Structure 1
């Protein structure tokens, strides 16, 4: 089957699960009523408010978020030539968590003035800005090292250590926080796609579309990196600049999702492997758009599974991504080991 046909099938599956996603929930909405709402013929009923202000933004966030995390993971795996590298490997997610942790665990007048406890529009924006600031701080440190360190392995280790350092500071901050503040922060770490507003969705869309567009522009240098840095340099690739660019793009894609939805695991690690297996290629001109599509499909399915039909209970998205992602990673490692033995 050709790559284009597979892409069409994945796109069609996204549309199918998009429909299931917006029609599934504690409130049952019929097909005819749903069509009226989506065509904006009914905008005043309770059902329309549920669809247009809760389910539709959540589904669009899942589509954008899944694709962004998958692309970020693909870029990191190519840069470091490490199949277990993901969007959070350089400490960006840890930095975002630290920023949000400091904001949410601040307590007293700081949290109240920023509406953190109410989690209204101002509260959501405050959390997003805190996550962006934390992620940017860590990214700045990593980029400072990236300009001086030539070895990608050393840079990878430095990124992991910076992540540990950020987590250590966060743990210390949590130790002195109250139980109520800890509970709020813990809920944020579970990941939540339903808190994104349309204004935040616009910002998210701009960041993600820009990141994906830049990724497509550097598809040729990414292909060259697969054959080694020496070969890439002989092809005219500026290793230092392309490395910094990939780190920035990956961090922006992952940081944007973490800022508005909380940390979401496994999607960025597993989806690039799934894409390579489905399309049987290492050509990034094929991998990048299809990794985005497959990432969108995976996160929409995960969010759909997180909802219990007929119930108001919604499981944390990270629970589902972990249940699906961990077996895939273990299977991949075992498959890779058998392949090496065969050689």
Structure 2
């Protein structure tokens, strides 16, 4: 099965039990009780399904956890000081991983169903998931030995660093579990120190309400003003805590799926161009990209925050037309950006 998975592009493979894990469920409930999921209400609404794989599908006996690499060839932090450029998270510069990972999961699941009777296993039940379902993907990946949850709460692999897309196959098969991953963060605090908005109240604990990825992707409406400067020129997601992880030195781009290679137009887009996008232009530019799901309004809102942080009065000609934008969050972001750029403008 592992050989079949690797042939489909998965570079990480492991097996975990689908049985409940009370410690894992308790950590989820404490995080939700603290409100650290922000406005992601679906996490709380379906917490009973997230508690364990069997909470979602009682017939499940085993979880097959899989990972695909999107390790970047270029330094994700290289554009940090390029204020006229918008920074897009590495994972979103190529094809939508939901489509790529799920397609491979379905192929593997189909192979399992067909191979079951031939191998004397009888009828095999399967369900596939990647990201969008109420599944505790990261803890399950750890239980299956793909790596450990680092202090930034993402999965870290000894072989692939912090650059793994995760997917799962729940199955009715009883399979022997892999050895769980062991924490190897040691005394390192690089990811904690790198966060531009202070989203880690403690190691291994993320407050999504302060996370740049949450603020630029999930959060609707205006971003709190005290967090806007911390966004810098990040307009979709953030790689900072992942990029500084020392374990990335072992991640080889040879494992990176071709579908996840960056599109040239998304590696260093100019804010001046992005601020002029209407809905049709946005859809065309981000066709086949995960960015498309947040819509033009939220994306342009993010670009306006980046413009306000740029200190470049040259962007005023793109900012000012957005003062009358029909979306209230865009118009408010334009007013904020204009005020910042006027304040930064040299006085004659």
* TM category, shorter: under 0.3
Whichever structure has more strand as a proportion of its residues is 2
**Larger RCO: 1 or 2 (CA < 8 Å, sep 6+):** 1
Please give the TM-score of this superposition, normalised by the length of structure 1: 0.26
Please give the TM-score of this superposition, normalised by the length of structure 2: 0.26
Whichever structure has more helix as a proportion of its residues is 1
